[in-house]
Every structure is written in structure tokens, then in C-alpha cells.
């Protein structure tokens, strides 16, 4: 990235392929935000991106009251291969804490979000559309090129059944004396990191997790962290 990179311009994820001199249509939510919140006008500069096309400088157009589109100019950053997959496997938790966890996990480079229902999950319903929007917003803000994938919610049993055992599954298990200290592990390449709900795992769940060879029980240290702190700490140590 050069020093004249326009980091101050709004940065928007656009799903369609982007190329110089082409046009792209923005969503109603983006149009509303740019026009009514940012109060931008025709011709204002923005950045648009997606993982396949890279990031482009573009000029805003408001063809009607509610619609917005962009006219694409020069390439700012080329598309890049996302190599390492970092899966966060988590129980749904209360709204504000989950919002925080999702945003920070996107910033920390999680590529895949797996909501998993556990016995003690107090929140059992996942608002996928809302979570998807949060993921996109965090990716726009932190200058990521790729948009992390939000997987469909499943039970822990189902998740374990479907798990592709080639990637190590680091399971944060509280109060397990045999668990390896996460901070002492050297991790290279793809991984999944699993954290439990506010109330922790129950005994059967721990048995289910540890019965698999691909599971690596890990301790996050002597203190019991809240689920969202555990998620962030784990990602920060593993990336
Ligand atoms: N209320 C529970 C703790 C739940 S903490 C209890 O008192 O037992 C929420 C989740 O964060 C746990 O399920 C675990 O996945 C993770 N976690 C928190 N602190 C941890 C630690 N020190 N080691 C490993 N995992 C931890």
C-alpha cells in the first residue's frame, strides 16, 4: 500500500466483480448510510472491495432518491489469496457480548464463524442476517479483503460428527488439569478454536470433545474468562 492510499474514504464491500470503468450497484443500506448518515453527494470518493476483485477507488452516484451506485476508477490493492483458515467455534451468548466477540474476531482474522448450540447455551437463536451484516461491517472497517464465512448453527453433536479431522480443533476447556497451556503451543496453518457458553461445558460435552483425536484440549490460564474474552484471547494467541 502506498502512502497516498485514501484510508479516510468510506470502504464498502460489494459482492459483484469489480473492474476499472465499470459500475456497481450498492445495497439500500449502503445508499442510506452514505447519503443520510455520511451526507455524501454525487462524485464523492469511496473504496469498494471484495476478495476476488481487490479494492478499488470509486465515485459515488445517486441516480434516484434511495439508490446509489459507484463508478469504478483505479485499483488500490490487488486481490490476495487467503491462505490460512481460522475457525471460531462458539456458543451463542448474550447480544452485546456476542456483538463484541464477532467484531473483534473479524479484526483478529477469523475466517469462519461456527455458531454451535451447547447444553448450557442460554441464547439459542442466531440472527444470521444481523450477524452477517456485523461481519461485513467489521471487515470493511478493519481493511480486510475477505469476508469471513458464517456457517449455519448446529448442535455440538452434529458439529463434531461433521468435523473434518485434518484441522486441529483447540477446545478451550476450563479447569482441566491435563489441558495444554494455549500460550505454550506453536501453531502453524489452519486451526479451529472452540469455546463454551457462559455456563461452561457439561461433563458429557467434555467427553464428546475429548473422545476425538483431532481435539486438543487447551487451558487459557489460571483465571476463568468470560466466553467472549476466551474467544478473543484464543484467536490472539493462535494467529
Ligand atoms: N461459568 C463457567 C465458566 C465458563 S467460561 C464455570 O464457572 O465453570 C466460558 C468458556 O470460556 C468455557 O467454556 C471455556 O471454553 C472458556 N474458558 C474460560 N476460561 C478458560 C480457561 N482458563 N481455560 C480454558 N478455557 C476457558
Q: What is the DSSP string of 90-151?
A: E----HHHHHHHHHHHHHTT--EEEEEE-TT-S-----HHHHHHHHHHHHHHTT-SS-PEEP
For residues 48 and 100, membership in a common domain is answered with no
Half-sphere exposure of 226 (CA within 13 A, CB side): 10
Residue 162 and residue 144 in one domain: yes
Residues 22 and 123 in one domain: no
Same domain, 48 and 101: no
Cα 234 to averaged position of ligand 1 atoms, centre (Å): 12
Q: What is the pLDDT of residue 1?
A: 60
Whether 172 and 71 map to the same domain: the answer is: no
Instruction: Based on the fold, state whether residues 195 and 214 are members of the same structural domain.
Output: yes
CA of 230 to the centre of ligand 1 (A): 7
**The predicted structure's pLDDT at residue 159:** 98
Region of poorest pLDDT, from 27-31, 160-164, 185-189, 192-196 = 185-189
For the chain, the average pLDDT equals 96
pLDDT 10s digits, 36-94: 999 999 999 999 999 999 999 999 999 999 999 999 999 999 998 878 999 999 999 99
- Domain interval for residue 36: 11-77
**Based on the domain organization, do 130 and 219 belong to the same domain?**
yes
| 57 plus 114 within the same structural domain | no
Q: Kind and range of the H or E element at 11?
A: strand 11-13
pLDDT of residue 146: 97
Which residues have CB under 8 Å from 81's CB, separation 6+?
Answer: none
Question: Residue 217: inside a domain, yes or no?
Answer: yes
DSSP 178: T
Q: Select from 98, 122, 174, 192 the residue to mutate for testing ligand 1; criterion: most ligand atoms less than 8 Å from CB.
A: 174
178 and 122 in a common domain: yes
Kindly state whether residues 209 and 165 are assigned to the same domain: yes
- Average of pLDDT values for 141-163? 97
Do residues 107 and 72 share a domain? Answer: no
In a domain, 5, yes or no: no
Same domain, 69 and 159: no
CATH number (domain holding residue 45): 2.40.240.20
Q: Which residues contact 168 (CB under 8 A, 6 or more apart)?
A: 187, 191, 192, 214, 216
- Structural domains counted in the chain: 2
Contacts of 216 (CB under 8 A, 6+ apart): 168, 169, 170, 171, 180, 185
Does some domain include residue 19?
yes
CATH number for the domain harbouring residue 146:
3.40.1280.10
Which of 183, 200, 218 is the best mutation target for the ligand 1 pocket, counting ligand atoms within 8 Å of the beta carbon and taking the most? 200
Tens of pLDDT, residues 8-25: 999 999 999 999 999 999
Is residue 136 within 6 Å of ligand 1 at its C-beta?
no
Amino acid at each position: 500500500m502506498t502512502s497516498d492510499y485514501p484510508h479516510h474514504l468510506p470502504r464498502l464491500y460489494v459482492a459483484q466483480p469489480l473492474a476499472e470503468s465499470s459500475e456497481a450497484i450498492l445495497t439500500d443500506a449502503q445508499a442510506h448510510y452514505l447519503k443520510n448518515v455520511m451526507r455524501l453527494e454525487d462524485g464523492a470518493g469511496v473504496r469498494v472491495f471484495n476478495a476476488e476483485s481487490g479494492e478499488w477507488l470509486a465515485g459515488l452516484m445517486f441516480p434516484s432518491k434511495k439508490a446509489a451506485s459507484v463508478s469504478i476508477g483505479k485499483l488500490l490493492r490487488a486481490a490476495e489469496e487467503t491462505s490460512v483458515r481460522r475457525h471460531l467455534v462458539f456458543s451463542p451468548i448474550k447480544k452485546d457480548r456476542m456483538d463484541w466477540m464477532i467484531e473483534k474476531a473479524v479484526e483478529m482474522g477469523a475466517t469462519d464463524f461456527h455458531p454451535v448450540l451447547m447444553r448450557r447455551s442460554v441464547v439459542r437463536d442466531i440472527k444470521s442476517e444481523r450477524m452477517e451484516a456485523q461481519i461485513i461491517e467489521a471487515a470493511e472497517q478493519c481493511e480486510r479483503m475477505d469476508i469471513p464465512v458464517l456457517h449455519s448453527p448446529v448442535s455440538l453433536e452434529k458439529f463434531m460428527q461433521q468435523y473434518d479431522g485434518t484441522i486441529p480443533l483447540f477446545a478451550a476447556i476450563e479447569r482441566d488439569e491435563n489441558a495444554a497451556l494455549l500460550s505454550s503451543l506453536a501453531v502453524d496453518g489452519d486451526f479451529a478454536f472452540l469455546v463454551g457458553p457462559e455456563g461452561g461445558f457439561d461433563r458429557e460435552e467434555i467427553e464428546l470433545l475429548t473422545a476425538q483425536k483431532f481435539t486438543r484440549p487447551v487451558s487459557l490460564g489460571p483465571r476463568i474468562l468470560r466466553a467472549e474474552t476466551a474467544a478473543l484471547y484464543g484467536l490472539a494467541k493462535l494467529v
